[in-house]
Structure 1
């Protein structure tokens, strides 16, 4: 069976589509979520001017000297600011120990939704809804903020489609995302000059992992490196189509649907050309849900042949365990189902 990522045009949900057109989009989304868990999304109506300015801002930040970038680091518990190369290990987020801990060579910069963004939800904890750290790069904050708003709009459009595809009440996801833990992570896969590292087949850009929340909206270069685990246990290269976002499901959605919809494992292994790593950039917008939202398996996804696979958990409890693995090196012991898939893959 040939692996492919379905392409879905969501314009009927962005503009005034008919009921029939929206039903067809929901049907296509349901099929993609059942079979692959990754989708090429077009028709999103994100202006190219906003995306181009955002990518330029990313480039300007990552072009800074490494020591200057390190001044924008935060403690591992604060999911904001700069992460230098080899300071994280995504595989630990799902309980898989790598040969060399904290060996993912990507560098990243994170911004997120703050407590001030949710005035209707007073008293949100400062750690999870922390203020952003903005680098001294002209135009960076403005360009990143504009793109963040567009990516958030696309993510919320997708949850509306999810609700229709799953036959849920109209406000199901809205009730669980009023103060969502939304994070935009900008990634750069290129080692700084002079970095001492062996360029071999085991080099890890970003280790095997599932995303943590409801849905991820990914902008990426059309450069090889992203690999998705197929149902045959093999890893498959995936690149975005022209003008498309790559969208994938997170663990929260897999738990809600009792794995009817999968949180698909993926990793990044950028190619090595003429002895150097081919640079690759990406930006993942994680729409994770409210910190205090309880995630329980939907009754419609349980029957005699499909008992509930997960106990109820809050989004905050789940995300905290995942982040302790990836950012603080504390192996996650509550991800047995995901780690089993990694360990059985054709690595």
Structure 2
């Protein structure tokens, strides 16, 4: 097992300033005669599909170039156009190797395969009361359609990892690695994305980065998520939809690509197209908060999860995500000083004076999702009013 990846992630994400817990942890790795990291059973996903699918044609952004001003200038047009047109892009060469990525999926599976059901219940989040994704969401919490409830488990933790008593015993040995992974996502992936998005709007490079401070009050979270196979009856009654069409409510979602195909985006021509798996790539999308901050220039694209293709049916689907939200106090108003917005115009979903803070939007969306009563629209889709805005759900 490669132990150096955790050390490199700590060093890079802290930019040379490690906290005491991390120093002690990494120091123990260096001084032990036979350095080890906690054992996690190897998670082996199914093979990629061989079916002929209607794949979405998304830009691929090479992050090996993102570390220099010249590289960011080269990457900015592709990121700008991809997030303006599609709201989704792939990122490759982000700095972690395939084995390092695989280790995090091993840890993610511990949260589900190695934790007894009774213990999961002890750490189940109370979304409705707290408006926080913190702990487990167990299966059958969300209503999908026609009486069908979800078969999805996920475990969420705030990006800072430490400071909340939400961890089952099996996950506790992995907290240093989870912290390192969260920091890597935050500093080495999220912040460079935010710089490219700012440059794409001809804004100061750090303007969105300054709204996403790692230690600030806020609820950016690391999510481990597993979809379980469903009965044929549930597939029929839900029209094969596992998670109905929606936009994310944060700023940026980072999904670590995995081979069980199920994610689709709604293209501009009204067709659902599949997201292709690329080994050790990231699938990155815009959320509602960034759409609000960008005055509609960057699009929160509608996406859903459906039954996998025939050669992957019956398989579990394990995912690892980094859901980025702006700091709690950030008011989600358009950056109208952007020369780009001054040329193309601002698209508002709510008047500037009524714009919610990130905390207000987060609490409303977290508490309501999958449990609130929705209004059926004439086109068959559904909607609700949350945080002063109309939120649509696409069936």
Q: Secondary structure at the match of 2:207?
A: coil
Q: 1:280 to 1:256 in 2, by over 3 A?
A: same
Partners of 1:82 and 1:306 in 2: how far apart? 38
1:325 maps onto 2:368 in alignment: yes
Q: 1:73 to 1:275 in 2, by over 3 A?
A: same
Partners of 2:334 and 2:312 in 1: how far apart? 48
Q: Secondary structure at the match of 2:89?
A: strand
Q: Which sits farther off after the overlay, 36-45 or 204-213?
A: 204-213
Equivalent residue, structure 2, for 1:30: 80
> Does the 8 Å contact 2:249/2:365 carry over to 1?
yes
Q: 1:220 to 1:106 in 2, by over 3 A?
A: farther
Cα distance, 1:302 vs structure 2: 5.2
Q: Which sits farther off after the overlay, 147-156 or 132-141?
A: 132-141
Match for 1:198 among 203, 222, 234?
A: 234
> Does the 8 Å contact 2:250/2:324 carry over to 1?
yes
Residues 99-135 of structure 1 show CA distances to partners (whole Å, capped at 9, x for unaligned) of 337x222110001135x97xxxxxxxxxxxx725112
> Does the 8 Å contact 1:213/1:288 carry over to 2?
yes
Q: Which sits farther off after the overlay, 183-192 or 317-326?
A: 183-192
Q: Secondary structure at the match of 1:205?
A: strand
Give unmatched runs, 5+ long, in structure 1: 92-97, 118-129
Structure index of larger Rg: 2
Equivalent residue, structure 1, for 2:40: none
Match for 2:133 among 61, 75, 79?
A: 79
Q: Give the TM-score taking structure 1 as reference length.
A: 0.81
1:101-180 matches, cutoff 5 A: 103-114=149-160, 131-137=164-170, 139-153=173-187, 154-178=189-213, 179=216, 180=218
1:58 maps onto 2:108 in alignment: yes
> Does the 8 Å contact 2:60/2:92 carry over to 1?
yes
Q: Secondary structure at the match of 1:67?
A: helix
Match for 1:10 among 50, 63, 66?
A: 63
Partners of 2:137 and 2:125 in 1: how far apart? 8
Equivalent residue, structure 2, for 1:187: 225
Structure of higher RCO (CA pairs closer than 8 Å, 6+ residues apart): 1
- Calculate the aligned-residue CA RMSD, in Å: 2.9
1:210-225 matches, cutoff 5 A: 210-225=247-262
Q: Give the TM-score taking structure 2 as reference length.
A: 0.72
Match for 2:71 among 1, 6, 21?
A: 21
Q: 1:107 to 1:203 in 2, by over 3 A?
A: farther
> Does the 8 Å contact 2:55/2:275 carry over to 1?
no
Give unmatched runs, 5+ long, in structure 2: 1-53, 375-383
Partners of 1:198 and 1:281 in 2: how far apart? 20
Match for 1:238 among 271, 275, 280?
A: 275
> Does the 8 Å contact 2:249/2:288 carry over to 1?
yes
Q: Secondary structure at the match of 1:333?
A: strand
1:270-289 matches, cutoff 5 A: 270-271=307-308, 273=310, 277-289=314-326
Partners of 1:289 and 1:255 in 2: how far apart? 11
Q: Which sits farther off after the overlay, 164-173 or 281-290?
A: 164-173
Cα distance, 1:2 vs structure 2: 7.9
Cα distance, 1:276 vs structure 2: 5.6
Cα distance, 1:205 vs structure 2: 2.3
Partners of 1:196 and 1:225 in 2: how far apart? 16
> Does the 8 Å contact 2:56/2:274 carry over to 1?
no
Equivalent residue, structure 1, for 2:288: 251
Q: Secondary structure at the match of 2:106?
A: helix
Equivalent residue, structure 2, for 1:123: none
